């Protein structure tokens, strides 16, 4: 078989030393590479090396990226590389069968997994993915439940807190789309989880409120309005300090004391009040909502019952229509690999290597999927494997945290940051491609200087 050195010798622009180190790595590997540094080239050349060295056939390498365009470009690039080696009989056979090679988007690959076991969830195997249609369907479910008569207690409680449009668009739809995709449901432990989260939010918000009130109480320069706000704020702080229960705090903060129209002013302490008054009222309202939840837990139970009915209605519509979201498919794929160990085993055996481009646009869920696929052959762990449970040479991640652009799809660049640490701690390697072959050097220097400061706050 043709050697990889022979292949490289045919290239008009051979890999540089940094690129070659990543290409030749035989351990689990994370490559951090900036725009124009040749990260996709590195991935495609590594694919060719694995084939030429007989470590894997083309259809034993799973290659994933984030967009369909990137997947098509990767297919074309690898196919053209293989053609350069097609004088070799073994490679020529793989070129002829290139259609069976798994080079796809991560979404598409998740769909492949789900179709194998969709009936377990009551979903047809020829389901489609349409986020817009499922959002429209979820909105219809929400309206139907809110308009039903007699209205449930949970619906009545939520309707007193939000306008109809805000309740649907800002509360119910995010719950259905982001927090409870298939197969997740509102479980019995949700109340305790929510109470714990509300208590944390209450502590943080109350601290913020005290800071603002203390600031107002210290003001003295300006017209009568400043003195009134200062006195009211001081009185609220004194009464908060003497409250013996959440009920007393709620009664105080939901009263009229300290409530007034937003003061107007263009200088001095009056300007300070005017600029922060909207924030003050919003924080105070959120503290009241948190206190209401903590003091009236029967109301929380009613809201959870309504929420559970809503989520189940949305899921039923999805099952009946066969129309899912990208989030549904990703969550179902991970659930299948966790639950159905025969399917997990089949994929583990099918793919000897997994390579992922643009991983900065993925999230913890997708990382879990790849860990499940890379679990050691002699292990079948319940749940998601740890980095220590993985095959030592199967994974090859490429990404650039500076180019993460898919937060609206749940991308979490911090996952890419942590990934390298996990793999290196378990015998893997991390490489950085620093040379940019496309951009103006002065611009690159400036961007590389400022970007770490930005990312430190993520």
Q: Which residues of the chain have pLDDT under 50?
A: 403-411, 437-440, 443-458
Q: Which residues contact 26 (CB under 8 A, 6 or more apart)?
A: 393
The answer on 186 and 89 residing in a single domain is no
Question: Phi and psi of 44, rounded to 5°?
Answer: -70, -35
2 inside domain: no
Which of 289, 235, 291, 290 is closest to 259 using CA atoms?
A: 235
The answer on 231 and 345 residing in a single domain is no
Check residue 35 and give its pLDDT: 59
Which of 429, 420, 168, 194 is closest to 289 using CA atoms?
A: 194
The answer on 245 and 197 residing in a single domain is yes
Residues 62 and 237: their CA atoms lie apart, in Å, by 61
Q: What's the whole-model pTM score?
A: 0.77
Give me the domain span that covers residue 350: 25-115+326-430
Check residue 458 and give its pLDDT: 46
Cβ atoms of 398 and 447 closer than 8 Å = no
Check residue 362 and give its pLDDT: 62
The answer on 152 and 274 residing in a single domain is yes
Check residue 418 and give its pLDDT: 81
110-153 residue pLDDT tens: 999 999 999 999 999 999 999 999 999 999 999 999 999 888 98
Instruction: Scan for tokens 């918000």, then name that residue.
Output: 205
Check residue 371 and give its pLDDT: 95
451 inside domain: no
Q: Which residues contact 444 (CB under 8 A, 6 or more apart)?
A: 34, 436
Check residue 1 and give its pLDDT: 72
* Phi-psi map region of 436: left, alpha, beta (phi>0 left; psi -120 to 50 alpha): beta
233-274 residue pLDDT tens: 999 999 999 999 999 999 999 999 988 888 887 788 888 999
Distance of CA 258 to the CA centre of its chain: 40
Q: Could you give the number of structural domains in the chain?
A: 2
């Amino acid at each position: 078989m043709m050697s990889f050195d022979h292949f490289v010798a045919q290239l008009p622009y051979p890999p540089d030393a940094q690129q070659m180190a990543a290409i030749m790595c035989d351990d689990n590997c994370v490559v951090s590479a900036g725009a124009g540094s040749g990260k996709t080239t590195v991935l495609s050349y590594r694919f060719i090396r694995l084939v030429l060295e007989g470590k894997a056939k083309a259809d034993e390498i799973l290659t994933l990226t984030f967009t369909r365009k990137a997947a098509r470009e990767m297919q074309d690039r690898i196919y053209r590389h293989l053609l350069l080696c097609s004088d070799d009989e073994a490679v020529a056979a793989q070129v002829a069968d290139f259609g069976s090679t798994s080079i796809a988007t991560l979404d598409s690959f998740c769909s492949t997994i789900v179709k194998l076991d969709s009936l377990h969830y009551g979903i047809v195997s020829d389901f489609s993915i349409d986020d817009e249609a499922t959002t429209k369907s979820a909105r219809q479910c929400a309206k139907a439940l809110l308009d039903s008569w007699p209205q449930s207690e949970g619906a009545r409680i939520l309707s007193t807190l939000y306008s109809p449009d805000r309740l649907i668009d800002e509360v119910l739809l995010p719950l259905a789309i982001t927090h409870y995709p298939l197969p997740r449901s509102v479980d019995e432990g949700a109340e305790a989880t929510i109470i714990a989260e509300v208590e944390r939010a209450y502590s943080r918000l109350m601290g913020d409120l005290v800071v603002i009130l203390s600031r107002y109480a210290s003001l003295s320069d300006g017209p009568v309005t400043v003195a009134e706000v200062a006195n009211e704020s001081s009185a609220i702080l004194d009464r908060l300090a003497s409250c013996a229960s959440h009920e007393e705090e709620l009664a105080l903060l939901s009263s009229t004391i300290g409530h007034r129209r937003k003061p107007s002013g263009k200088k001095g302490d009056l300007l300070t009040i005017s600029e922060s008054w909207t924030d003050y009222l919003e924080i105070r309202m959120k503290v009241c909502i948190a206190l209401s939840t903590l003091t009236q837990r029967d109301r929380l139970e009613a809201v959870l019952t309504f929420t559970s009915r809503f989520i189940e209605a949305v899921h039923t519509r999805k099952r009946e229509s066969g129309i899912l979201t990208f989030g549904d498919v990703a969550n179902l794929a991970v659930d299948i690999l966790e639950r159905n160990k025969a399917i997990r085993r089949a994929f583990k055996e099918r793919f000897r290597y997994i390579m992922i481009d643009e991983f900065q646009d993925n999230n913890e869920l997708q990382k879990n999927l790849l860990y499940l696929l890379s679990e050691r052959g002699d292990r079948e762990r319940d749940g998601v494997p740890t980095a220590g449970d993985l095959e030592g040479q199967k994974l090859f991640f490429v990404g650039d945290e500076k180019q993460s652009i898919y937060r609206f799809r749940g991308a979490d660049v911090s996952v890419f940051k942590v990934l390298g640490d996990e793999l290196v701690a378990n015998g893997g390697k991390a490489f950085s491609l620093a040379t940019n072959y496309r951009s103006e050097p002065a611009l690159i220097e400036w961007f590389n200087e400022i970007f770490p400061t930005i990312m430190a706050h993520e």
